[in-house]
């Protein structure tokens, strides 16, 4: 009897935290919703063709239903496509940051005539669908003879991402205390020295975040890369994946396409993981220097 009373008393004292249970349930469901397509693509890249075509679907294949043949079918030429995407994306990102940083600082700190008009123009360009620029850019590329040239992609990517770079960096520069700039001017720094030696080290998080967004856009862009580049050895990852064909016109090579998608996404994954650490380091360094 005493034991029963103790158990009932402890049970009454134990309260179920329903909000916490609901929170973690929601978190788990969101993670499953976001990662399930990725897991499905990875599994498809390793499945044999029979397992891919089986109905109902095989969600968790056995060891006998796994193969590396789809990755081997990509061949060594696929690394060339990765190099092309990396070259175009990295170059356009560097140009965006080099051109966008001084422009953003100018709009954030220096009083120039027509500042509001310039900001309105930058905002309008940011909201403008870049696909509508396709025909105009195509005529320009043909007129100046930039077809089948990396510049045919680097220049449009830089122009498209530059307004977003300016807006993001401008808002970050506005959050920095003006006392730092006043102190630097007293110490004899000019505007360029102050920007390069004092403000840029503190804007590392914004630079990295903006750079990653620019890089991902250039890496994944398809329409310009498909049209402006026709030489096979200069194609980028999205175009190369889209043009993977089967043994006949009626066959869809799901396995090689999934393998190419996973292989083309891995560099982005590594890049984001590396720069996540850099963001934390930049925030810490800025806090210590401040």
Report the chain's mean pLDDT, rounded to a whole number. 82
Residue-level pLDDT at 84: 93
pLDDT tens for residues 153-170?
999 999 889 988 888 888
* Phi and psi based region of residue 176 (left: phi greater than 0; alpha: psi -120 to 50; beta: remaining): beta
Q: How many domains does the chain have?
A: 2
Read off the DSSP letter of residue 60: S
Residue-level pLDDT at 75: 80
Between 13 and 163, the more confident residue is: 163
Residue-level pLDDT at 195: 79
Specify whether 134 is located in the same domain as 61.
no
Percent of the chain exceeding pLDDT 70 equals: 88
Specify whether 149 is located in the same domain as 54.
no
Instruction: Among 17, 49, 67, identify where a domain stops.
Output: 67
Specify whether 205 is located in the same domain as 107.
yes
Residue-level pLDDT at 290: 43
Specify whether 62 is located in the same domain as 89.
no
- The count of other CB atoms within 10 Å of the CB of residue 28 is 10
Specify whether 154 is located in the same domain as 31.
no
Sign of CA dihedral 101, 107, 109, 111: positive
Specify whether 49 is located in the same domain as 87.
no
Question: Is 50 exceeded by the pLDDT of residue 288?
Answer: no
pLDDT band at 110; cut points 50, 70, 90: confident
Specify whether 149 is located in the same domain as 25.
no
Location of structure tokens 């929601």: 26
Arithmetic mean of pLDDT, 138-165: 89
**Domain containing residue 270: CATH number:** 1.10.3720.10
Minimum mean pLDDT among 91-95, 174-178, 244-248: which range?
244-248
Q: Give strand ranges (E) for 130-255.
A: none
Specify whether 33 is located in the same domain as 120.
no
Domain housing 32: 2-67
Specify whether 104 is located in the same domain as 20.
no
Specify whether 285 is located in the same domain as 206.
yes
Specify whether 244 is located in the same domain as 126.
yes
Specify whether 83 is located in the same domain as 168.
yes
* pTM summary value: 0.80
Between 277 and 130, the more confident residue is: 130
Rounded Cα distance between 95 and 120, Å, is: 22
């Amino acid at each position: 009897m005493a034991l029963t009373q103790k158990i009932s008393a402890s049970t009454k004292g134990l309260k179920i935290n329903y909000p916490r249970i609901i929170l973690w349930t929601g978190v788990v469901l969101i993670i499953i919703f976001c990662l399930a397509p990725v897991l499905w693509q990875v599994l498809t890249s390793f499945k044999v063709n029979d397992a891919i075509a089986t109905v109902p679907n095989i969600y968790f294949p056995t060891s006998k239903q796994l193969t590396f043949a789809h990755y081997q079918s990509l061949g060594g030429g696929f690394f060339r496509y990765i190099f092309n995407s990396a070259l175009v994306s990295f170059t356009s990102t560097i140009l965006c940051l080099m051109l966008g940083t001084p422009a953003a600082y100018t709009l954030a700190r220096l009083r120039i005539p027509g500042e509001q008009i310039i900001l309105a123009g930058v905002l309008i360009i940011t909201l403008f669908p870049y696909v509508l620029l396709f025909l105009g850019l195509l005529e320009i590329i043909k007129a100046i003879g930039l077809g089948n040239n990396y510049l045919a992609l680097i220049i449009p990517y830089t122009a498209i991402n530059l307004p977003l770079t300016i807006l993001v960096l401008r808002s970050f520069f506005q959050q920095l205390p003006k006392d730092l700039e006043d102190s630097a001017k007293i110490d004899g720094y000019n505007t360029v020295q102050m920007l390069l030696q004092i403000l840029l080290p503190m804007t590392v998080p914004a630079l990295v975040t903006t750079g990653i967004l620019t890089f991902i856009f250039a890496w994944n862009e398809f329409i310009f890369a498909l049209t402006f580049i026709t030489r096979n050895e200069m194609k980028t990852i999205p175009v190369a994946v889209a043009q993977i064909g089967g043994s006949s016109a009626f066959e869809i090579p799901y396995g090689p396409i999934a393998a190419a998608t996973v292989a083309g996404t891995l560099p982005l994954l590594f890049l984001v993981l590396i720069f996540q650490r850099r963001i934390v380091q930049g925030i810490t360094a800025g806090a210590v220097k401040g």
